[in-house]
Structure 1
Amino acid sequence: MGLKAFLSKVFAAVVSRELNHLRKNAVNLQQATFKKLISQAKHTAFGQDHQFGNISSYQDFKQHVPIRDYEDLRPYIDRMVGGEAGVIWPGKPEYLAKTSGTTSGVKYIPLSKESMPEHIKAARNALLNYIHETGKADFVDGKLIFLQGSPVLSQKAGIKVGRLSGIVAHHVPAYLQKNRLPSYDVNCIEDWEEKVDAIVNETFTEDMRLISGIPPWCQMYFDRLSAKAGGKKIKDIFPNFKLFVYGGVNYEPYRARIEESIGFGIDTIETYPASEGFIAFQDSQKDKSLLLLCDAGMFYEFIPADEYHNEKPTRLSLAEVELNQNYALILNTNAGLWGYSIGDMIKFVSKDPYRILVTGRIKHYISAFGEHVIGEEVEHALMSVAKAEGVDVVEFTVAPQVTPAEGLPYHEWFIEFGNEPADMDAFALKVDTALQQKNIYYADLITGNILRPLVVSSLKKDTFINYMRSQGKLGGQNKMPRLSNDRKIAEELARL
């Protein structure tokens, strides 16, 4: 065991004690965070406009601060992006994280001097918690790779601007810098495919032990590594590769193919980072759920998913949530986002400690007929059948077909298979049955002859990669939408 590995175990024990305190005191930590946020922001323009000086309880807060998405908050954000200080948080942001919104175009999410360290702390703690739980620390003595966006930053009104992953690259702790790949020059390559090829060439002969990134883009990296090595498994290229860290999408649709590429069932850590804040991470190899970080400079609110579009939805604090209910996640942050709808749905699977699963996007669902099918349901239906049938699913998306040329409407599933089912119709019917078991509204529409069972359209190899390339969203933090309420993506896929 190297010196870094030995010291990491010592540090991991300290972090473990901190996390145990979080697990046992989540509600109290949220209350303390709420009070601190209100106090710190009461003299900002937003705080004055919303009478923060008169807020002494969560009930007061709900009366003064409405729920907003990015567009609703934009008048304040535009002032901040223009260089005005003290708009939504004291001073100016340290960074603006640039993201691509589906309805708002380019979005600029503030990162303050208070919020930025929380991103680094959470990522660090996820790894140290794993070390403490498993005793496995050797990966810190080898090379670590983070497949991420370019670290090149621009400026707006004197504020540094970049992709979140590129910003984070500037804050990697010094003790990891010598272990970290890709190199700065390679990381700055903008074209994703050119970048992946350069990363393959740079890492091919290195002692890679930890790989981190969004699963579909890591799969691209693995495929190109294997091709360069004449078809070898990743375990034969990197014999000491022992830990895969991921986030951004549900891993289950990608697990079988990634493990096949690697050559064994590798240890994984799921993380839930967003530009708005690092929200949760998997804190046990025995449990796939994620520990909600309640002392990370964010006060959380939760809206029952079926009330999200109501004029006055119910707003709950952490102390009020129930298990196994889908909630829209609302953030109030130490970078100045208030009553901010991040667009994600989560559900609690434990309250001791508070652990969550991300179940989809609040705006990504199919409800063309009132069925309100969500991401968690389609992923479970497809992957449970695929696993039982030995079918390899590369990628998929689902859209409604409201006006078919003949017959009843249906859900159309566009699937790229690694290996197709022997009987596609039988496979589709099993997936449909699994979806009916997860969603009673969908089941009622099928049994009531409002919809006919789903239809699978099998797509040729690399269709989804070509689609993402055509949209300028290949690589980085970009993800393929699982669900649509219209046919826009379906029509684009049909052209490829």
Structure 2
Amino acid sequence: MLTIGTKFLVVSQVFTAVTLYQVINMYLNWKDTSSWQAAFRGLVVFFTGAGGLVTYDIYRKRPAKSHTWRTVLLQYTLTQIFRIIVYFSLRNFETASKNISKMQEDALMFYIRTLENTEFGKKHNYSQMRTREDFLKLHPVLSYTDLKPYIDKTIAGKKNQITPFDPFYIAFTSGTTGKNKAFVYAKEMFAKPSKMLKALLFRTLRFKRAGLWDDLKRYHEVRIGVKTNITDSGIRTGPIAGMYTFFPSYLVSPRVVYDVTTENEAHYLHALFALKDPGIGTFNFSFPSVATRFCQTLEHQWPQLCDDIEHGALNTDLDIPEDIRERLQTDMRADPQRAAEVRRIIRQGFDGIVRRLWPECNAALMLSSGSLLPEAEGLKQHYLKDVPFCNPVHAATEGVFGFCDPDDNSQTRFIMTTSLNHFDFIPLEETDKPSPRVVPIEEVQIGQCYELVITTAVAVRYRQGDVVKIVDFYNQVPVYEFQYRLGQMLNLFWEKMTEGAFVHALRGAAKRNDVDVVEYTATENVNFEAIAEPLQNGRHYVLFMELSENSDKEQRRLTSQQKQMFEDVLYEEHEVYKMLRDNGSILPMKVIQVKTGAFNALKNAVVENGPCGHLVLCWRMEDKAEHAFTAPSTKVSSSRFVQQQHHYHLHQRQQFRY
């Protein structure tokens, strides 16, 4: 049977033959051809010639064998459109970036003029702000507390509060820096063509980095379905991911998989359809934690996955709605040959498993800078060995702040989206002050760290909380590296234990103990008002961790001495923490090892319950090490968690392999 690429080659040859026939026929019968016949034949030559070029270009890009006519044409068309958008947008960005003040003025005044007649705009006298200088002089730096009353009224159904338009979505943050925040999205804020094109530019550059313009391999979007709700006023609400519902047919997983909202089942299905297709060229994981979970699903459930592929039937134990199961079953075909191939590859081990299962994979898309770097490095050393990483954008619920320089091989530097948003900066040493000094974009300096103050489609002069380090300039546009979130910090007194410092100590202790930390979360004990057992008197950190399983699928039990190692390394590496420990201000950190699967249960509970504040897993623990493994059940309900709100804390999942 001909492959899809060969079929396009045949079509290209047919188009070419028709074109040549028409050209020769026109030449031989030119004198007997009327003007309208010549025009018609000219159109035929044009379209058949263009068809021949397009179909040959598709053949040249080596489309995956699993493509259909429809999916390959859709992927080819979209990538060519994106290519044109990026070409012209980057050229315009190149020109505009040579005058950063003008660029920022244009971005800012679009939002100010749009919002000036809203209640929020009237409160801040937007009608008096005619220039960027007026804005910098008159507009205060805001926190979420300043935005919340207007957002709450909008959610309740009141009009013209923080947007003059009817909102179509209320996006909730993950609660990284405390309680969840909500932001109002209106379609009209993106209706201006230049805004839409600029937004597309920053999001589609990932296709260039991933090499999707150079071939037509399959694209696998590994994503968990999200639950959205409807407010009493009829507005759809949920995480920012719930706002994007475009799932083109050329994706590896069927559309219905993205409606599965439980993590175990979603990852199983994504792994199943990925294993069925050896022609995947790009994985979009978004975050290292998603990549880790996907690969762990392969490692732990590959026998059942291979059975499903061999027999063309879904695992009957998979807990998914019956209507979804029926729709997925229509996409299943028995493939004993692929099942045997997968078994053979997996039995050779899991080092570099992604490249070995999918030899043509040329990119893994995920954020891999700042605090996410350690887990990304672990993936590079194990599951994703030899797979290039692409770090496409720096974004949050509030907007897209930076796009990765297409020419930066380090994949840690971002160019600010200054044509889309307005930026101010608070020097790091000023972030704790009640009235911090604000630095305009023209005055930022290389080597300095700043907190971002953003003006986007959903927030104006808002302290976003991300700390960035300026490392270069693209013409006049700052180039930066993401450092950490201000809220991702442990701070019992004034030690300000940053996420980066804590992660470094955690990695060092794990290496000394020769263990793999699969998941962890840490906080201050003052947040445990409802903890299951009394903690020590006094202030200290609490570290919850889950270790990887051994070959017998059992988690290694840490001794009290090994747990103490995590405290010792932190004590050695952090001078201020050491001083506060020595003078008795801070007590030793308590390390609690949880059962295998506890963090997955936590994540599932968060998904099931919808947007909420960050949760910290709280198992009942005894002083004896063996009691850490004697809880009556590994099933965790949301009542086992303690909700944290309005405090600095560190919450991040990492995997380390040495």
Q: TM-score range by the shorter chain?
A: 0.7 to 0.9
| Counterpart-to-counterpart distance in 1, 2:445 and 2:189 | 31
Q: Quote the residue 1:252 is aligned against.
A: 373
- Contact residue 399 and residue 413 of structure 1 kept, 8 A: yes
1:188 to 242, 245, 259: 259
Q: Quote the residue 1:266 is aligned against.
A: 387
1:37 to 93, 107, 111: 111
Change over 3 Å in CA distance of 1:341–1:469 after alignment to 2: same
Change over 3 Å in CA distance of 1:409–1:105 after alignment to 2: closer
1:220 to 289, 293, 297: 293
Query: Which of the pair is proportionally richer in strand?
Result: 1
Matches within 5 A, 1:467-486: 467-470=602-605, 472-473=606-607
SS of the equivalent of 1:251 reads: helix
- Contact residue 257 and residue 266 of structure 2 kept, 8 A: yes
Asked if 1:124 corresponds to 2:204, the answer is yes
Alpha-carbon offset, residue 142 of structure 1 = 1.7
1:96-142 per-residue CA deviation (whole Å, 9 max, x = no partner) reads: 224454754563432433348465442212332x25xxx67456432
Q: Quote the residue 2:646 is aligned against.
A: none
Change over 3 Å in CA distance of 1:491–1:377 after alignment to 2: same
- Contact residue 71 and residue 104 of structure 1 kept, 8 A: no
Q: Quote the residue 2:562 is aligned against.
A: 424
Change over 3 Å in CA distance of 1:106–1:46 after alignment to 2: closer
- Contact residue 105 and residue 131 of structure 2 kept, 8 A: no
Alpha-carbon offset, residue 398 of structure 1 = 2.4
Q: Quote the residue 2:655 is aligned against.
A: none
| Counterpart-to-counterpart distance in 2, 1:119 and 1:492 | 44
Alpha-carbon offset, residue 446 of structure 1 = 4.5
SS of the equivalent of 1:356 reads: strand
Alpha-carbon offset, residue 378 of structure 1 = 1.7
Change over 3 Å in CA distance of 1:86–1:399 after alignment to 2: closer
AA matched with 1:244:
A
- Give the alignment's Cα RMSD to 1 decimal: 3.9
1:302-345 per-residue CA deviation (whole Å, 9 max, x = no partner) reads: 2234433433222222223334444332222234x223233333
| Counterpart-to-counterpart distance in 2, 1:385 and 1:21 | 49
- Contact residue 305 and residue 362 of structure 1 kept, 8 A: no
1:143 to 215, 219, 226: 219
Q: Quote the residue 1:304 is aligned against.
A: 427
Alpha-carbon offset, residue 477 of structure 1 = 9.9
- TM, length-normalised to structure 1: 0.80
| Counterpart-to-counterpart distance in 2, 1:188 and 1:316 | 44
| Counterpart-to-counterpart distance in 1, 2:470 and 2:249 | 39
- Contact residue 152 and residue 166 of structure 1 kept, 8 A: yes
| Counterpart-to-counterpart distance in 1, 2:609 and 2:385 | 25
Alpha-carbon offset, residue 148 of structure 1 = 4.2
Q: Quote the residue 1:484 is aligned against.
A: none
Alpha-carbon offset, residue 368 of structure 1 = 0.7
AA matched with 1:312:
S
Matches within 5 A, 1:358-437: 358-383=482-507, 392-400=516-524, 405=536, 410-418=540-548, 424=562, 427-428=565-566, 431-432=569-570, 435-436=573-574
| Counterpart-to-counterpart distance in 2, 1:396 and 1:294 | 36
Identity across the alignment (%): 19
Alpha-carbon offset, residue 347 of structure 1 = 2.8
Aligned length: 473
Q: Quote the residue 1:69 is aligned against.
A: 143
SS of the equivalent of 1:89 reads: coil
AA matched with 2:375:
Y
Change over 3 Å in CA distance of 1:279–1:56 after alignment to 2: same
AA matched with 1:398:
A
1:147-191 per-residue CA deviation (whole Å, 9 max, x = no partner) reads: 143486746645444432232233x6xxxx232243332211232
- Contact residue 247 and residue 273 of structure 1 kept, 8 A: no
- Contact residue 69 and residue 340 of structure 1 kept, 8 A: yes
Change over 3 Å in CA distance of 1:53–1:426 after alignment to 2: same
Q: Where does the alignment leave 5 or more consecutive residues of structure 1 unmatched?
A: 482-487
AA matched with 1:191:
T
Q: Quote the residue 1:2 is aligned against.
A: 61
SS of the equivalent of 1:169 reads: coil
1:200 to 248, 266, 271: 271
2:601 to 458, 466, 484: 466
- Contact residue 151 and residue 167 of structure 1 kept, 8 A: no
Alpha-carbon offset, residue 205 of structure 1 = 0.7
| Counterpart-to-counterpart distance in 1, 2:582 and 2:231 | 57
SS of the equivalent of 2:359 reads: coil
Q: Quote the residue 2:185 is aligned against.
A: 110
Change over 3 Å in CA distance of 1:89–1:401 after alignment to 2: closer
1:209 to 253, 275, 281: 281
Alpha-carbon offset, residue 211 of structure 1 = 1.9
Q: Quote the residue 1:485 is aligned against.
A: none
Query: Which stretch has the larger CA shift, 345-354 or 365-374?
Result: 345-354
- Contact residue 214 and residue 477 of structure 1 kept, 8 A: no
Matches within 5 A, 1:324-335: 324-335=447-458
SS of the equivalent of 1:343 reads: strand
Change over 3 Å in CA distance of 1:238–1:229 after alignment to 2: farther
Change over 3 Å in CA distance of 1:281–1:447 after alignment to 2: farther
Q: Quote the residue 1:313 is aligned against.
A: 436
| Counterpart-to-counterpart distance in 2, 1:159 and 1:225 | 38
Query: Which stretch has the larger CA shift, 349-358 or 217-226?
Result: 349-358
1:19-48 per-residue CA deviation (whole Å, 9 max, x = no partner) reads: 544654444422321233222322222222
AA matched with 1:464:
F
AA matched with 1:280:
G
AA matched with 2:440:
S
Change over 3 Å in CA distance of 1:286–1:260 after alignment to 2: closer
SS of the equivalent of 1:86 reads: coil
Matches within 5 A, 1:174-185: 177-185=248-256
| Counterpart-to-counterpart distance in 2, 1:38 and 1:319 | 20
Asked if 1:277 corresponds to 2:352, the answer is no
- The structure that has the greater radius of gyration is 2
| Counterpart-to-counterpart distance in 1, 2:155 and 2:124 | 20
AA matched with 1:37:
Y
1:235-272 per-residue CA deviation (whole Å, 9 max, x = no partner) reads: 33323222111249833232244335535142222232
Q: Where does the alignment leave 5 or more consecutive residues of structure 2 unmatched?
A: 1-59, 63-75, 304-342, 347-352, 527-533, 550-555, 622-630, 637-658
Asked if 1:95 corresponds to 2:169, the answer is yes
